[in-house]
Amino acid sequence: MIAIPAWNEQGSLGAVVADVHEHHPEAGVLVVNDGSTDATAQVAADAGAHVVSLPFNVGVGGAMRTAFLFAKRNGYKALVQVDADGQHDPADLSRLIDGLDSADIVVGTRFHENSMYFVGGPRRWAMVLLSKALSAMNKRPITDPTSGFRSAGPHAIELFSVNYPAEYLGDTVGSLSIAIRQGLVIEEAPVTMYYRAIGRPSKNALWSALYLGRASLALIATLLQRTSPTKGDTN
Protein backbone atom coordinates (compact mmCIF):
# COMPACT_ATOMS: atom_id res chain seq x y z
CA MET A 1 0.00 0.00 0.00
CA ILE A 2 1.17 3.50 -0.82
CA ALA A 3 0.31 6.03 1.87
CA ILE A 4 0.31 9.74 1.08
CA PRO A 5 -0.22 12.14 3.97
CA ALA A 6 -1.65 15.36 2.55
CA TRP A 7 -2.45 18.72 4.08
CA ASN A 8 -3.81 21.28 1.62
CA GLU A 9 -2.04 19.71 -1.35
CA GLN A 10 -4.78 19.97 -3.98
CA GLY A 11 -2.31 21.44 -6.46
CA SER A 12 0.20 18.59 -6.59
CA LEU A 13 -1.67 15.60 -5.15
CA GLY A 14 -3.57 14.56 -8.28
CA ALA A 15 -0.40 14.18 -10.31
CA VAL A 16 1.35 12.29 -7.50
CA VAL A 17 -1.49 9.75 -7.16
CA ALA A 18 -1.67 9.29 -10.94
CA ASP A 19 2.10 8.86 -11.11
CA VAL A 20 2.08 6.25 -8.35
CA HIS A 21 -0.80 4.37 -10.01
CA GLU A 22 1.13 4.33 -13.26
CA HIS A 23 4.24 2.81 -11.68
CA HIS A 24 2.37 0.41 -9.39
CA PRO A 25 -1.14 -0.28 -10.68
CA GLU A 26 -1.37 -3.31 -8.35
CA ALA A 27 -0.83 -1.29 -5.17
CA GLY A 28 -3.59 0.33 -3.14
CA VAL A 29 -3.13 4.08 -2.68
CA LEU A 30 -4.30 5.72 0.51
CA VAL A 31 -4.40 9.47 0.90
CA VAL A 32 -4.67 10.58 4.51
CA ASN A 33 -6.27 13.98 4.30
CA ASP A 34 -4.89 15.72 7.39
CA GLY A 35 -7.64 18.26 8.04
CA SER A 36 -7.24 20.08 4.73
CA THR A 37 -9.36 23.15 4.08
CA ASP A 38 -9.02 22.85 0.31
CA ALA A 39 -10.18 20.20 -2.18
CA THR A 40 -7.45 17.68 -1.23
CA ALA A 41 -9.95 14.90 -0.41
CA GLN A 42 -11.89 15.39 -3.65
CA VAL A 43 -8.73 15.50 -5.76
CA ALA A 44 -7.52 12.27 -4.14
CA ALA A 45 -10.85 10.48 -4.63
CA ASP A 46 -11.04 11.61 -8.25
CA ALA A 47 -7.55 10.24 -8.83
CA GLY A 48 -8.75 6.86 -7.58
CA ALA A 49 -7.16 6.73 -4.14
CA HIS A 50 -8.72 5.55 -0.90
CA VAL A 51 -9.31 8.66 1.19
CA VAL A 52 -9.25 8.82 4.97
CA SER A 53 -10.07 12.31 6.22
CA LEU A 54 -8.97 13.40 9.68
CA PRO A 55 -11.46 15.84 11.23
CA PHE A 56 -8.69 18.35 11.96
CA ASN A 57 -4.98 18.76 11.34
CA VAL A 58 -2.91 16.42 13.53
CA GLY A 59 0.44 16.60 11.76
CA VAL A 60 2.34 14.14 9.58
CA GLY A 61 2.87 11.75 12.50
CA GLY A 62 -0.84 11.51 13.24
CA ALA A 63 -1.67 11.12 9.58
CA MET A 64 0.89 8.34 9.26
CA ARG A 65 -0.35 6.45 12.32
CA THR A 66 -3.80 6.55 10.73
CA ALA A 67 -2.27 5.10 7.57
CA PHE A 68 -0.55 2.32 9.57
CA LEU A 69 -3.85 1.54 11.32
CA PHE A 70 -5.59 1.39 7.96
CA ALA A 71 -2.87 -0.91 6.58
CA LYS A 72 -3.05 -3.19 9.61
CA ARG A 73 -6.84 -3.48 9.64
CA ASN A 74 -7.03 -4.07 5.92
CA GLY A 75 -4.34 -6.72 5.94
CA TYR A 76 -1.64 -4.91 3.99
CA LYS A 77 1.84 -6.41 4.43
CA ALA A 78 3.82 -3.40 3.22
CA LEU A 79 3.35 0.34 3.36
CA VAL A 80 5.34 2.99 1.53
CA GLN A 81 5.09 6.61 2.60
CA VAL A 82 5.25 9.15 -0.21
CA ASP A 83 5.01 12.93 0.09
CA ALA A 84 2.08 14.68 -1.55
CA ASP A 85 4.11 17.56 -2.92
CA GLY A 86 5.76 15.57 -5.68
CA GLN A 87 9.33 15.68 -4.39
CA HIS A 88 9.58 11.88 -4.33
CA ASP A 89 10.04 9.93 -7.56
CA PRO A 90 7.61 6.95 -7.86
CA ALA A 91 10.30 5.22 -9.94
CA ASP A 92 12.11 4.61 -6.63
CA LEU A 93 9.12 2.79 -5.09
CA SER A 94 10.22 -0.65 -6.28
CA ARG A 95 13.57 -0.28 -4.56
CA LEU A 96 11.91 0.62 -1.26
CA ILE A 97 9.45 -2.28 -1.53
CA ASP A 98 12.09 -4.85 -2.57
CA GLY A 99 14.24 -3.78 0.36
CA LEU A 100 11.57 -5.11 2.72
CA ASP A 101 12.66 -8.67 1.85
CA SER A 102 15.59 -8.25 4.21
CA ALA A 103 14.43 -5.37 6.43
CA ASP A 104 11.44 -4.13 8.43
CA ILE A 105 11.93 -0.53 7.36
CA VAL A 106 13.70 0.86 4.31
CA VAL A 107 14.52 4.56 4.41
CA GLY A 108 15.04 6.32 1.11
CA THR A 109 18.24 8.32 1.43
CA ARG A 110 18.88 11.49 -0.51
CA PHE A 111 22.59 11.29 0.20
CA HIS A 112 24.39 8.98 -2.21
CA GLU A 113 26.91 9.11 -5.06
CA ASN A 114 24.49 9.99 -7.83
CA SER A 115 22.33 12.32 -5.79
CA MET A 116 21.56 15.84 -6.90
CA TYR A 117 20.43 16.61 -3.39
CA PHE A 118 22.69 18.90 -1.44
CA VAL A 119 22.36 20.73 1.81
CA GLY A 120 25.08 22.92 3.22
CA GLY A 121 26.02 24.87 6.30
CA PRO A 122 24.56 24.43 9.77
CA ARG A 123 21.56 22.48 8.48
CA ARG A 124 23.94 19.91 7.05
CA TRP A 125 25.79 19.63 10.37
CA ALA A 126 22.50 19.10 12.17
CA MET A 127 21.54 16.33 9.79
CA VAL A 128 24.96 14.69 10.03
CA LEU A 129 24.76 14.71 13.81
CA LEU A 130 21.31 13.11 13.78
CA SER A 131 22.47 10.58 11.25
CA LYS A 132 25.50 9.68 13.39
CA ALA A 133 23.37 9.20 16.49
CA LEU A 134 20.80 6.98 14.78
CA SER A 135 23.42 5.02 12.83
CA ALA A 136 25.20 4.25 16.09
CA MET A 137 21.93 3.02 17.62
CA ASN A 138 21.09 1.02 14.52
CA LYS A 139 24.63 -0.42 14.13
CA ARG A 140 24.33 0.21 10.39
CA PRO A 141 24.17 3.49 8.55
CA ILE A 142 21.09 5.70 8.39
CA THR A 143 22.41 8.61 6.36
CA ASP A 144 19.10 10.45 5.95
CA PRO A 145 16.98 10.02 9.09
CA THR A 146 14.63 12.90 8.24
CA SER A 147 13.62 11.40 4.91
CA GLY A 148 9.85 10.98 4.57
CA PHE A 149 10.22 8.53 1.66
CA ARG A 150 10.29 5.13 3.32
CA SER A 151 8.67 1.72 3.44
CA ALA A 152 7.50 -0.47 6.30
CA GLY A 153 6.95 -4.23 6.50
CA PRO A 154 4.45 -6.15 8.67
CA HIS A 155 6.38 -5.77 11.93
CA ALA A 156 6.81 -2.04 11.44
CA ILE A 157 3.12 -1.65 10.49
CA GLU A 158 2.15 -3.47 13.69
CA LEU A 159 4.42 -1.26 15.83
CA PHE A 160 3.62 2.06 14.16
CA SER A 161 -0.14 1.52 14.21
CA VAL A 162 0.15 1.68 17.99
CA ASN A 163 3.07 4.01 18.58
CA TYR A 164 3.96 6.76 16.13
CA PRO A 165 5.08 10.19 17.36
CA ALA A 166 2.95 13.15 16.31
CA GLU A 167 5.40 15.95 17.02
CA TYR A 168 7.40 17.71 14.34
CA LEU A 169 10.46 15.52 13.49
CA GLY A 170 9.10 12.83 15.80
CA ASP A 171 7.47 11.29 12.75
CA THR A 172 10.82 10.86 11.01
CA VAL A 173 13.65 10.76 13.56
CA GLY A 174 11.53 9.62 16.52
CA SER A 175 9.85 6.78 14.66
CA LEU A 176 13.23 5.35 13.62
CA SER A 177 14.45 5.48 17.20
CA ILE A 178 11.32 3.63 18.37
CA ALA A 179 11.81 0.99 15.68
CA ILE A 180 15.47 0.47 16.56
CA ARG A 181 14.62 0.03 20.22
CA GLN A 182 12.03 -2.59 19.28
CA GLY A 183 14.73 -4.48 17.43
CA LEU A 184 13.42 -3.87 13.91
CA VAL A 185 15.89 -4.06 11.03
CA ILE A 186 16.36 -0.73 9.27
CA GLU A 187 18.11 -0.43 5.95
CA GLU A 188 18.34 2.33 3.41
CA ALA A 189 18.07 2.68 -0.33
CA PRO A 190 19.13 5.55 -2.57
CA VAL A 191 16.30 7.75 -3.87
CA THR A 192 15.97 10.82 -6.04
CA MET A 193 14.67 13.99 -4.51
CA TYR A 194 13.02 16.74 -6.51
CA TYR A 195 13.08 20.16 -5.02
CA ARG A 196 9.71 21.52 -4.11
CA ALA A 197 8.16 23.68 -6.79
CA ILE A 198 7.18 26.16 -4.15
CA GLY A 199 10.23 27.92 -2.70
CA ARG A 200 11.65 26.62 0.55
CA PRO A 201 12.00 29.14 3.32
CA SER A 202 15.59 30.28 3.67
CA LYS A 203 17.34 28.34 6.38
CA ASN A 204 19.89 30.18 8.47
CA ALA A 205 22.06 29.22 11.43
CA LEU A 206 19.40 30.02 14.00
CA TRP A 207 16.85 27.93 12.13
CA SER A 208 19.35 25.05 12.03
CA ALA A 209 20.05 25.29 15.73
CA LEU A 210 16.32 25.17 16.49
CA TYR A 211 15.94 22.32 14.03
CA LEU A 212 18.68 20.31 15.71
CA GLY A 213 17.25 21.11 19.12
CA ARG A 214 13.78 19.93 18.18
CA ALA A 215 15.13 16.84 16.46
CA SER A 216 17.24 15.97 19.50
CA LEU A 217 14.22 16.46 21.72
CA ALA A 218 12.17 14.18 19.48
CA LEU A 219 14.96 11.59 19.67
CA ILE A 220 15.45 11.85 23.43
CA ALA A 221 11.70 11.70 24.03
CA THR A 222 11.50 8.34 22.26
CA LEU A 223 14.64 7.11 24.04
CA LEU A 224 13.08 7.85 27.42
CA GLN A 225 9.87 6.10 26.49
CA ARG A 226 9.16 2.71 27.97
CA THR A 227 9.94 0.11 25.32
CA SER A 228 6.74 -1.91 25.51
CA PRO A 229 3.89 -0.09 23.83
CA THR A 230 1.41 0.47 26.63
CA LYS A 231 -1.43 2.30 24.94
CA GLY A 232 -2.35 -0.50 22.58
CA ASP A 233 -4.83 -0.62 19.75
CA THR A 234 -7.66 -2.62 21.25
CA ASN A 235 -9.19 -3.77 17.98
Partner 1 sequence: MTPNVLAAITALITFIFVGDLLRRGLLKEKYAVLWLFFAGTALFLAVFPSVLTEVSALIGVAAPVNLLFFVTIVLLVLVAVQLSYELSRHEARIRRLAEEVALIEQRTRSLDPPAKESRSDDDGHHDS
Nearer to partner 1, 69 or 179 (CB): 69
- Could you tell me the smallest distance in angstroms from the CB atom of residue 189 to partner 1? 29
Interface with partner 1 (CB under 8 A), residue from 22, 25, 26, 56:
56
53 binds partner 1 (CB under 8 A): yes
- What sign for the dihedral angle of Cα 44, 158, 63, 145? negative
Interface with partner 1 (CB under 8 A), residue from 16, 17, 20, 32:
32
51 binds partner 1 (CB under 8 A): yes
55 binds partner 1 (CB under 8 A): yes
Interface region with partner 1, contact rule CB under 8 A, candidates 63-71, 94-102, 105-113, 209-217? 63-71
- Could you tell me the smallest distance in angstroms from the CB atom of residue 7 to partner 1? 13
Which amino acid is present at 189?
A
Q: Are strands 150-152 and 105-109 parallel, antiparallel or unpaired?
A: antiparallel
156 binds partner 1 (CB under 8 A): no
Interface region with partner 1, contact rule CB under 8 A, candidates 67-75, 122-130, 147-155, 171-179? 67-75
Under 8 Å between Cβ of 147 and 88 = no
In sequence order, what are the residues at sequence separation of 6 or more whose Cβ sits closer than 8 angstroms to the Cβ of residue 140?
186, 187
66 binds partner 1 (CB under 8 A): yes
Which alpha helices (DSSP H) does the chain contain, by range?
10-23, 40-46, 59-73, 93-98, 121-138, 154-162, 175-181, 205-224
Question: CA-to-CA distance for 157 and 11, rounded, in angstroms?
Answer: 29
